[in-house]
Amino acid sequence: MIVRLLGEGQFRVDDSLLARLNELDAQVEQAVEAGDERALWSGLQALAETVRENGEKLADEDLLPSDAIIPPEDLSLDEARELLQDEGFIPDVPVGS
Amino acid sequence: MPGLMSRLSLIFKAKFSKALDRAENPNETLDYSYEEQLRQLQNVKRGIADVTTAKKRLELQYTSMQQQVDKLDGQARQALAASREDLAREALTRKAAVQAQLDGIMQQGQQLEAQQQKLIEGERTLQSKVEAFRTQKEVIKAQYSAAEAQVRIGEAATGIGEQMADVGLAVQRAKDKTEQMQARANAIDELTTSGALTDLTSSGDDIDRQLAQLSQGSQVDDELAKMKAELGTGGAPVPKQLEGEEAT
């Protein structure tokens, strides 16, 4: 499967990694609920590192869509809440099709 | 409620599947899509240029803030030399307030620097993808049936759209960061120019004036000392003559 680290690029990782990523994703969500920014950052960092270590970066020319998208490592609590609450976090960019 | 990763993936999918539903005539879609990508690429470039400009402006402001800190430090020393500990304390209090804002700006500046670097890389990737799309769309037009082309277009456009949204988000975050830094810089301006610290003491404006007087006073002293020194060499014959007259 293909995973995008926002602000960094896309990686191809083995499907078997999904369970681990979901686990870390749940930790990140808990951190947001607890209002714990440090835990949020360490969770996001763990997600990104897992992808970097186990994945292979896609070439710039690849036009494949991602199966999972991971927020930037320095996401603030406010941004994380915005992300969980509505769609305003991602700017509206026309895809053009 | 799903986690951030899942939520983000859903948001992206929702955005792009809407776009794909509209695709009807593959060839037209491809050309329109490419033109749109070029337009968006220009927007991204403009966004990055804006961030760079804002960052430069903040760097200039940062220098003048550093001067404010140095000035307050100097005033505190002068006040202490003149045995005005109260004034020295006030100057140092202001210095601490400015320094705190300055440290915050410094930290945000470092984050902005890292974001800017990623922006430039993201823009380069986007450029490569748009270029790859241009080549691929001709291949799709020439080699695939309408139905197959539809699927291929869907993937390619989603891939590009994702990169576009990724860089777009990075531009937005960097802009937000410069705005936060600007707000801190403005807070310092207020601290140092409008006497916003008057609440700290009952006579803040008076303290401003006294600090200024002290500074002017010491400037006058300095100049006086300089003049005395000049007269000491230039006007030397006069006192000697006087001494001579007294001696005779």
Q: Give how far A52 is from chain B: nearest CA, Å.
A: 15
Q: What is the pTM of this model?
A: 0.72
Residues 171..190 of B with a Cβ closer than 8 Å to A: which? 172-173
H runs (alpha helix) in B82-145? 85-143
Q: How far is CA B205 from CA B68, B167, B199, B201, in A?
A: 17, 48, 10, 9
The stretch B167-172 carries a mean pLDDT of 89
Q: State how far the Cα of B167 lies from the Cα of A80, in Å rounded to an integer.
A: 18
CB contact under 8 A, B7 and A90: no
pLDDT at B239 over 60: no
Q: State how far the Cα of B171 lies from the Cα of B162, in Å rounded to an integer.
A: 14
What is the per-residue pLDDT for B226?
81
Residues 55..74 of B with a Cβ closer than 8 Å to A: which? none
Cβ-Cβ pairs closer than 8 A, A with B, add up to 150
Confidence of residue B221 (pLDDT cuts 50, 70, 90): confident
Confidence of residue B24 (pLDDT cuts 50, 70, 90): low
Contacting residues of A for B129, CB less than 8 Å apart: 60-63
What is the per-residue pLDDT for B193?
64
**ipTM (interface predicted TM):** 0.85
CB contact under 8 A, B7 and A60: no
pLDDT, one tens digit per residue, over A9-46 is: 999 999 999 899 999 998 998 999 999 999 999 999 99
Higher-confidence position of B223 and A47: A47
Q: How far is CA B16 from CA A60, A86, B36, B78, B176, in A?
A: 20, 16, 14, 65, 25
Q: Give how far B102 is from chain A: nearest CA, Å.
A: 21
Contacting residues of A for B156, CB less than 8 Å apart: 63
What is the per-residue pLDDT for A20?
92
Q: Is A37 on the interface with B (CB under 8 A)?
A: no
Say if CB A70 and CB A6 are below 8 A apart.
yes
What is the per-residue pLDDT for A91?
57
CB contact under 8 A, A28 and B118: no
| Proportion of chain B above pLDDT 70, given as a percent | 77
CB nearest to A90's CB, from B11, B20, B155: B11
Helix (H) or strand (E) holding B154: helix B146-193
pLDDT, one tens digit per residue, over A57-75 is: 999 999 888 989 999 998 9
pLDDT at B10 over 60: yes
Q: State how far the Cα of A19 lies from the Cα of A30, in Å rounded to an integer.
A: 17
**Best B1, B8, B28 residue to mutate vs chain A (most A CBs within 10 Å):** B8
**Best A51, A82, A95 residue to mutate vs chain B (most B CBs within 10 Å):** A95
Q: How far is CA A71 from CA A3, B115, B137, B141, in A?
A: 11, 14, 30, 35
| Secondary structure class of A10 (helix, strand, coil) | strand
Closest to B93 (Cα-Cα) out of B210, B235, B247, B207: B207
Tokens of B176: 């937000």
CB contact under 8 A, B23 and A60: no
Contacting residues of A for B23, CB less than 8 Å apart: 97
What is the per-residue pLDDT for B23?
56
Contacting residues of B for A32, CB less than 8 Å apart: 4
What is the per-residue pLDDT for A3?
93
- One-character DSSP codes across A12-38: E--GGGHHHHHHHHHHHHHHHHHT-HH
pLDDT, one tens digit per residue, over A77-95 is: 988 888 877 655 555 554 3
CB nearest to A69's CB, from B8, B129, B164: B8
Q: State how far the Cα of A42 lies from the Cα of A48, in Å rounded to an integer.
A: 10
Q: State how far the Cα of B208 lies from the Cα of B213, in Å rounded to an integer.
A: 9
- One-character DSSP codes across B171-228: HHHHHHHHHHHHHHHHHHHHHHHS-GGGGGSTTHHHHHHHHHHHHHHHHHHHHHHHHH
Q: Is A25 on the interface with B (CB under 8 A)?
A: yes
Helix (H) or strand (E) holding A56: strand A56-57
CB contact under 8 A, A7 and B169: yes
Query: Amino acid identity, residue A37?
Result: E
Q: State how far the Cα of B156 lies from the Cα of B154, in Å rounded to an integer.
A: 6
Higher-confidence position of B208 and A12: A12
pLDDT at B204 over 80: no
| Proportion of chain B above pLDDT 90, given as a percent | 8
Contacts of B215 (CB under 8 A, 6+ apart): B74, B75, B78
Q: How far apart are the first and last CA of chain B?
A: 107
A65 DSSP assignment:
P
What is the per-residue pLDDT for A97?
36
Q: State how far the Cα of B50 lies from the Cα of B149, in Å rounded to an integer.
A: 38
Q: Is A70 on the interface with B (CB under 8 A)?
A: yes
Q: State how far the Cα of B81 lies from the Cα of B217, in Å rounded to an integer.
A: 12
What is the per-residue pLDDT for A44?
94
Q: State how far the Cα of A11 lies from the Cα of A5, in Å rounded to an integer.
A: 8
Q: Is B152 on the interface with A (CB under 8 A)?
A: no
